[in-house]
Structure 1
Amino acid sequence: MDGTLTGAPWPASTSIGATSTGARPATDQVTDHVADQVAARTLPLRGVRVLDLTEGAAQSCGRYLADLGAEVLRIEPPGGSPGRAEPVVFALRNAGKLGLVLDLDDETGRERLHELAGTADILLDSSGEATARARGLTPETLSARHPRLVIVSLTAFGRSGPYRDFTATEPVLAALGGVLARSGLPGARPVLPPAGLVDQTVGVHAAWAALVAYVRRLRTGAGELVDVSAHEAVVHGFDPGFGTQGSAAAGRPEGFPRDRPDASAFYPVFPCADGHVRICLLARRQWRAMFAWLGEPAEFADPSYDTIPARFAAADRLHPLIGALFAGVRRDALVAEGTRRGVPIAAVLTPGEVLAADHFAETGTLVDAEIAEGLRARVPSGYISVDGVRAGLRHRAPNLGEHTELLLDEAAPGGAAADGPVPGSAVPGSGALDAGALDGGVLDGTGERGPEPDLGIPGDPADGPLAGLRVLDLGVIVFGAELGRLFADQGADVIKIENEAFPDGLRQTRRGGGMNASFAWGQRNKRGLGLDLRSEQGAALFRELVRHADIVAANFKPGTLESLGLSHAQLAEINPRIIVSDSSAFGSRGPWSGRMGYGPLVRSSCGVSALWRDPTRAETDSQAYCDGSTVYPDHIAGHVTAVAALAAVIRRARSGRGAALETAQADVAVMPLGPALAAESLAPGTVAPGTVDGGAGNIFAAVLPCAGDDEWCVVDVRGDEHWARLATVLGRPELAVGELATAGGRRARWAEVEELIARWTAQRTPAQVTATLQEAGVPAGAMVRLPEELTDPQLVARRSFRTLEHPLLSRPVPANARIAWFSTIADPPLRPAPVPGEHTREICRTLLGLTEDEIDRLVEAGVLQPPPEHALA
């Protein structure tokens, strides 16, 4: 994304619905440019400066921070980032950033970096330990000189452990992170997830860790060293085997199949007249609606089929009936009829169909934008909306070194510009910045830092970086659990509010109450309040709690908060500082806003399912989809929203006002497909399952068999140097010359190349393949099954798991230990998840000031709900 608008250093945001070719009128460009600058001044991280020295997936961390308004300075070496070899991927990872070039192998360049670090709040770095030491720029060295700086080291495996020096690509992380083991058809080769999903997890996970550390800095004045492992981000963030799992429940060592789970019947896909549709029958009422649609066949009239296990067991008889009903009917008609009947159903859309979907155009999820000079494509605009404004793509990624001179002049002592080029830097094509681009508040105009904002949080940060924040958690299922848990783990007082008439779906997995591991994982460190929000008195009590709260989090269907009288506008009248996060499957606007939303339907509607299928199967094969046993985008959507909510807390310190946040999980699912969607918009019909390089054409990533029973590994060749190293390991150095020495030659003989490597890997265990190729500098990784994560040498060395106990669990369970290693922030506590209403009386006494008599009367009326007596026995 290295283009500019003629005569303007900042290209304007492109209006929704603009075509992907041709120029727009200058008046439209000016209007968009002004609107962009106004929006930027209201985004929550305005005033936060970030130095971005990252490569690969780590760049998406800075992109999200830039989307939220941070001033992100992208620092590249004189020759440019290696990532520029994949121009579309690079452009989307670096949109919204400023660009400068520094030679960090040169002393003058390093000194210029220190000058910039003196003006910054957060520094992101993905350099390995050896490179950092050679330059004298280790996190410890930087921290010693800049003790207020938050320094985030984001590397493949972290700064410790036996894999510390390994290299990892997205496919390798999918293998070692437990994703690959759940992807693919039983008995067949595992299937890599679509490119971008794993990288997205890493970037958003790191953004959360960075802001947690930054909030602590604002509260204490001291910086922080943060060690983020991309490997652990995938293990604990993508779809954790030992975390809130929804229907996956795959992390139980005794229950996880050795082969890929047969997930085709979980959320089945059926062919129809013009493609495929997917259904998601969970609740009894949904099955009953499907039963009626089928004409109430006597074979399935028994009430036992009201349960998911019974229908799953009868899939060989039930699914042919549904298939016959759907055959010959067009997708739109099936979706409309299913919606009318209350049957969760969605069309399985290809990338091309996603690009053409009216919903994504009307909501602004997809926009046409200049992504490189003279090149326009249709791309995702951003994750989330803040106060109705999309926090996302505002301007293209910078040209190489575009802002070097101005930024270094501004950072130099006294802010005085040096005559001529700045030593240690390169300035190819520098341009003047918009007048408002550098007034974010980190400098006061004299080169000195302005005063830090006071977050106004009353708690003691020694009890956790977010201690003193109060979150009223109305969230349900996976997304709701994850969002609240992230805050609770860092010390916030998270009050999970439930109504016994509408229990959280995760509680319903056991009859008669009790606790399951999934709920225990997702609700740890929270308090529980039983409250009927549908009653007038219950709603009044909730509003009173809002007076003393910071965040309200919900993920109901659109309009639910408004119907309860609990919209952001209504709650802001009570507490102008309140931040309200409202999430749903497809958002509150657009033609799909009224659809029932579950993760499998979101994946189908956003192109994820179409790209997550076995590429060796025919396009008409409805059994070829491989995303049925994962929970996506629920977990990562929770992380995305947590980052935005914490950013809103930071903005509130300056503005004094809260925020209305909206997350459509569909937007979260579309974002990582940006390179694929851009490629499809430029060359329709070219993006297909198995694409791993965003169109670069220089990558060979293969899932290959290893010695043993159903053992597999990933080998990922990124360019000619990797191929030469691999040829040496194979004992065939001659393969590094001639036709196969080039990416084009290898692609032309793909099957032959794959077979050649497979013969070598098949004679070795996955661990042997990983060790040998990593030692040679070739990215490779074993397919790790979820139970094996508990004994993985790297995860064990980094103490990535702890033991979670709960009095209502039959036994302790493993749980993720932390989001990152911090220099001063302690690991989260593991307080047990509350039973329904466990802290109702305590909260009513201490926060609402109710007497015991008042509480008793409200309990008798059903407004308040304390825990059942047997629940705490």
Structure 2
Amino acid sequence: MALPLHGVRVLELTDGFGDTAGRFLADLGAEVVRIELPGGSASRSAQPVRSGVSVPFALRNANKLGVTLDLDGDEGQERLRDLARRSDILLEAFPPGFLAAREIGAEHLCRINPQLVAVSITGFGQDGPYRDWTATEQVLYALSGVLSRSGEPGEQPLLPPHGLIDETVGVHTAWSALLAYFDRLHTGRGQTVDISAFEVVVHGFDPGFGVQGSAAAGRSEDFPRGRPDAANFYPVYRCADGQVRICLLARRQWRGMFEWLGEPEEFADPKYDTIPARFAASDRLNPLIEKLFSTYTRDELVAEGAARGIPIGGLNTVAEVLRTEHFDASGTFVDAEIASGLAARVPSGYAKINGERAGFRTCAPELGEHNRVLFSSVADDAPVRIPAPLREPGARPFEGLRVLDMGVVVFGAELGRQFADYGADVIKIENSNFPDGLRQSKRGAALAASVAWGHRNRRSFGLNLRSPEGIRIFKRLAAEADIVLANFKPGTLASMRLSYDELAAVNPRIIVSESSAFGSVGPWNKRLGYGPLVRAACGVSALWRYSDTADGLCDGSTVYPDHIAGQVTATTILAALIDRLRTGRGAAIEVAQADAAIVQLGNQLVAEHLEPGSIGAPGNADSYSAPSGVYACAGDDEWCVVTVRDDADWARLCGVLGRSDLVDDSRFATAELRIGHRAEVDEVLAEWMLRHAPTEAMETLQAAGIPAGAMVRLPELLTNPQLVARGAYTELEHELLPTPLPTAKQVAHFATLPDWPLRQAPLAGEQTREIAEEILALSTAEIDSLVRDGVLQPPADDRALSPVSSTA
């Protein structure tokens, strides 16, 4: 398979955040050279470890080459400079100032190679009051507002599963690196890129001020204390062989459930057609559904639900995911050697390109494995040149590209926005008879906030694709377009005669991206694709609870994996755009949301495969360190996350607590011993935390080098000192909204790319006439006729739809 980034060279100096970015770029075909210090990366021993092999290191460094360099010595520094001269992209994750002090920082290497894209990935960015703080996944969950929405009412907040943050940061880093590289191909100039993992999680994992979909109920500021009562957003019921989750969102879905229940009179009132009414009556409704489901198996319930139009999905543990028939058939996993002599079942990769998986090919390199090969390369071994039309630096990289966007709901909004924000002409194709679900979640307002966030910078074209003339018009648009986006049920585009093959016959340069819940191959390919059902099927929900025996799942107020799956898809499309510059050909791209979630749970899945029964829901306790977890602080429902990673952290913590006597205590001398005495070390820390406000505790511990993060609620993000210093938020206005919305100003900080524009989201069909005239060259009379026939669908006040026009 010819991968799209073939010939692109990436240098990677990471050890933690950023590793997964290099892996994603390598999956897409880039030559990624991992550079380690002579002693090797700390991540080579990252837990979980199986048969002496770090599972995270093995997964995050597959498909890479590996060399060692002593960056404190002249020879090592010069070798890095030489590699930088011959490379396209640098990924580095050292603490701010570390490389610059050795005159090999991003700015230094960009002077040596002005075409280099140098990306720095740190916990909090290159500046701001948190610049030198330590970030872990747990800390970022707390500070980003994610933790405050996770857990059951009245209980302590619950940390989501491990691994999701690292992968999210990696995907956004890969996107940002390719975006700057795509710009370089058109301008001839590289640039520096500053990525803060904190900002990535705030804006890109499950944003509090971003597209929300049906989980918006969990975003309200009406719960300043305690967790949202989210269990009944997407309720879970016990059945004959486990648990299932249902998503009753649309009226027709509830009506199917009502009929299945035998049409109980107490729920016959039409008010129960609405989600809030059913939610309010959950104490009476849930027992009825649970009784009905109790005699069915999971598979029987899923099948019966499909027949009745009711979205139902089984809850799978990580062990069950590994032996699920669908994931075998879809190619989600591959059996491969992940280290010398150690084979495992591993997630194969995020995306398919032209029907082939872009994923796992070779195991992670041994320390210094490719020193001789790479350091003996000739000095003029220049990167492959990819031709591109030239323009001046400072423009948006996608200016001149046209995107036909049929995407819907959160995933569709997030994917199309990536191209709209960076300059593409994104035309949202809308049918007034089948409106985007985001447009239906207005909650009494004139416009849903999610539409304002997710559809900004687009144009809207009202078109009935259920008519032959509508299909003909779409193909005319596609003939001049660059990208088509869709996230319908697999087979939908083909049934409309708009498959990649048919569109490529019209325009060989077209890139068509199709996404769905479970992909186009396998027995689940036609299942309804709501995020809560994807999370349940992929093991995320089973890990997102207080314990393996807890019935309650705590992922009800999140829309994961919609945002990150959209970002994965955008990155894959961008790789295809880069390849198209070289080949002139487009591509067919497919991303299943389930595959995105499974890649991000790779550590747990592979560890479970290698040691069955070893992985379960950890709650708030880090299985590999103690003390660790979520600690109550002074005040009402105030919490702070702390993680003691190693013996050095423990010694520092003892100093902060004024308990130097515990450093040499035989019960706590090693990480293994502290884990064995978890209750005792937790008690020591918990007593100190209760005497301090969370921000005070966090600042004191971070000053000592100990990872800590106060639990932040969504409104507090807007005044967070680090986010304010970094300019993380601005305001988004819309004439149909009473007040401006806080919105992300940027995620990555680019040296030369401009900030996003903030053109307001269009009304459905608002630019229909404009696009028909400008692109299709239709006359006013032709447009009027198509409007009256219902093929073109401008807003309701269009002149062709007015009584005078209709009788003329």
In the TM superposition, what is the alpha-carbon distance from 1:328 to its structure 2 partner? Answer: 3.3
Contact 2:218 2:230 in 1 (8 A): no
**Of residues 704, 724, 734 in structure 1, which corresponds to 2:661?**
734
Contact 2:626 2:681 in 1 (8 A): no
Partner of 2:787: 859
Partner of 1:66: 26
Gap regions ≥5 residues in structure 1: 1-38, 415-446
Rounded to whole Å, the distance in 2 between the matches of 1:677 and 1:527 is 42
Partner of 1:745: 673
Partner of 1:164: 131
- Report the RMSD for the aligned CA atoms in angstroms: 1.7
**Of residues 499, 518, 528 in structure 2, which corresponds to 1:596?**
528
**Of residues 478, 485, 497 in structure 1, which corresponds to 2:410?**
478
SS of equivalent to 1:56: coil
Contact 1:241 1:251 in 2 (8 A): no
Contact 2:213 2:410 in 1 (8 A): yes
Per-residue CA distance 1:39-71 (angstroms, 9 max, x = gap):
2xx111111100000111311011101111111
Rounded to whole Å, the distance in 2 between the matches of 1:391 and 1:352 is 25
In the TM superposition, what is the alpha-carbon distance from 1:252 to its structure 2 partner? Answer: 6.3
After TM superposition, the structure 1 = structure 2 runs for residues 198-597 of structure 1, keeping only pairs within 5 Å, are: 198-249=165-216, 254-410=221-377, 412-413=378-379, 447-454=381-388, 462-510=394-442, 514-597=446-529
Contact 2:483 2:510 in 1 (8 A): yes
Q: Which deviates more, 506-515 or 185-194?
A: 506-515
Partner of 1:82: 42
Contact 1:706 1:761 in 2 (8 A): yes
How has the CA–CA distance of structure 1 residues 537 and 137 changed in structure 2, closer, same or farther, with 3 Å as cutoff? Answer: same
**Of residues 730, 733, 737 in structure 2, which corresponds to 1:809?**
737
In the TM superposition, what is the alpha-carbon distance from 1:453 to its structure 2 partner? Answer: 2.1
Rounded to whole Å, the distance in 2 between the matches of 1:50 and 1:271 is 49
Rounded to whole Å, the distance in 2 between the matches of 1:451 and 1:372 is 34
Residue type of the alignment partner of 1:591: P
In the TM superposition, what is the alpha-carbon distance from 1:815 to its structure 2 partner? Answer: 0.3
SS of equivalent to 2:99: helix
Residue type of the alignment partner of 2:113: H
In the TM superposition, what is the alpha-carbon distance from 1:752 to its structure 2 partner? Answer: 1.3
In the TM superposition, what is the alpha-carbon distance from 1:813 to its structure 2 partner? Answer: 0.7
Per-residue CA distance 1:529-582 (angstroms, 9 max, x = gap):
101111111111110111111100000111110111100010000000100000
Rounded to whole Å, the distance in 2 between the matches of 1:349 and 1:336 is 16
SS of equivalent to 1:669: helix
Partner of 1:126: 93
Partner of 2:805: none
Rounded to whole Å, the distance in 2 between the matches of 1:810 and 1:307 is 25
Partner of 2:593: 665
**Of residues 557, 569, 578 in structure 2, which corresponds to 1:629?**
557
Gap regions ≥5 residues in structure 2: 47-53, 800-808
Rounded to whole Å, the distance in 2 between the matches of 1:661 and 1:214 is 21
Per-residue CA distance 1:251-284 (angstroms, 9 max, x = gap):
8664454311010110001111221111110011
Contact 2:195 2:748 in 1 (8 A): yes
In the TM superposition, what is the alpha-carbon distance from 1:701 to its structure 2 partner? Answer: 2.8
In the TM superposition, what is the alpha-carbon distance from 1:168 to its structure 2 partner? Answer: 0.5
Partner of 1:4: none
Partner of 1:48: 8
How has the CA–CA distance of structure 1 residues 613 and 251 changed in structure 2, closer, same or farther, with 3 Å as cutoff? Answer: closer
Rounded to whole Å, the distance in 2 between the matches of 1:694 and 1:538 is 55
Rounded to whole Å, the distance in 2 between the matches of 1:246 and 1:254 is 16
Contact 1:194 1:692 in 2 (8 A): no
In the TM superposition, what is the alpha-carbon distance from 1:700 to its structure 2 partner? Answer: 4.7
Contact 1:382 1:391 in 2 (8 A): yes
Partner of 2:707: 779
In the TM superposition, what is the alpha-carbon distance from 1:371 to its structure 2 partner? Answer: 1.4
After TM superposition, the structure 1 = structure 2 runs for residues 756-795 of structure 1, keeping only pairs within 5 Å, are: 756-795=684-723
So what's the TM-score if we normalise by structure 1? 0.89
Rounded to whole Å, the distance in 2 between the matches of 1:94 and 1:52 is 10
In the TM superposition, what is the alpha-carbon distance from 1:130 to its structure 2 partner? Answer: 3.2
How has the CA–CA distance of structure 1 residues 699 and 555 changed in structure 2, closer, same or farther, with 3 Å as cutoff? Answer: farther
1:94 aligns with 2:22: no
Partner of 1:721: 648
Rounded to whole Å, the distance in 2 between the matches of 1:249 and 1:342 is 23
In the TM superposition, what is the alpha-carbon distance from 1:758 to its structure 2 partner? Answer: 0.8
In the TM superposition, what is the alpha-carbon distance from 1:452 to its structure 2 partner? Answer: 3.1
Rounded to whole Å, the distance in 2 between the matches of 1:596 and 1:252 is 24
Contact 1:55 1:81 in 2 (8 A): yes
Rounded to whole Å, the distance in 1 between the matches of 2:246 and 2:143 is 31
Rounded to whole Å, the distance in 2 between the matches of 1:62 and 1:817 is 26
Rounded to whole Å, the distance in 1 between the matches of 2:6 and 2:560 is 30
1:711 aligns with 2:638: yes
Contact 1:676 1:694 in 2 (8 A): no
Rounded to whole Å, the distance in 2 between the matches of 1:555 and 1:449 is 36
Contact 2:634 2:693 in 1 (8 A): yes
Rounded to whole Å, the distance in 1 between the matches of 2:99 and 2:746 is 25
Contact 2:17 2:93 in 1 (8 A): no
SS of equivalent to 2:644: strand
In the TM superposition, what is the alpha-carbon distance from 1:514 to its structure 2 partner? Answer: 3.0
In the TM superposition, what is the alpha-carbon distance from 1:171 to its structure 2 partner? Answer: 0.7
Rounded to whole Å, the distance in 2 between the matches of 1:822 and 1:565 is 40
Rounded to whole Å, the distance in 1 between the matches of 2:627 and 2:293 is 39
1:687 aligns with 2:615: yes
Contact 2:546 2:620 in 1 (8 A): no
Contact 2:622 2:628 in 1 (8 A): no
In the TM superposition, what is the alpha-carbon distance from 1:300 to its structure 2 partner? Answer: 0.7
In the TM superposition, what is the alpha-carbon distance from 1:682 to its structure 2 partner? Answer: 1.2
How has the CA–CA distance of structure 1 residues 256 and 841 changed in structure 2, closer, same or farther, with 3 Å as cutoff? Answer: farther
SS of equivalent to 2:67: strand
SS of equivalent to 1:52: strand
In the TM superposition, what is the alpha-carbon distance from 1:208 to its structure 2 partner? Answer: 1.0
Rounded to whole Å, the distance in 2 between the matches of 1:140 and 1:496 is 39
Rounded to whole Å, the distance in 2 between the matches of 1:111 and 1:346 is 56
So what's the TM-score if we normalise by structure 2? 0.96
How has the CA–CA distance of structure 1 residues 251 and 821 changed in structure 2, closer, same or farther, with 3 Å as cutoff? Answer: farther
Contact 2:6 2:31 in 1 (8 A): yes
Contact 1:158 1:229 in 2 (8 A): yes
SS of equivalent to 1:62: helix
How has the CA–CA distance of structure 1 residues 222 and 450 changed in structure 2, closer, same or farther, with 3 Å as cutoff? Answer: same
Rounded to whole Å, the distance in 2 between the matches of 1:527 and 1:462 is 23
Rounded to whole Å, the distance in 1 between the matches of 2:379 and 2:89 is 20
Contact 1:460 1:468 in 2 (8 A): no
Identity among equivalent positions (%) equals 60
Rounded to whole Å, the distance in 1 between the matches of 2:701 and 2:34 is 32
How has the CA–CA distance of structure 1 residues 165 and 312 changed in structure 2, closer, same or farther, with 3 Å as cutoff? Answer: same
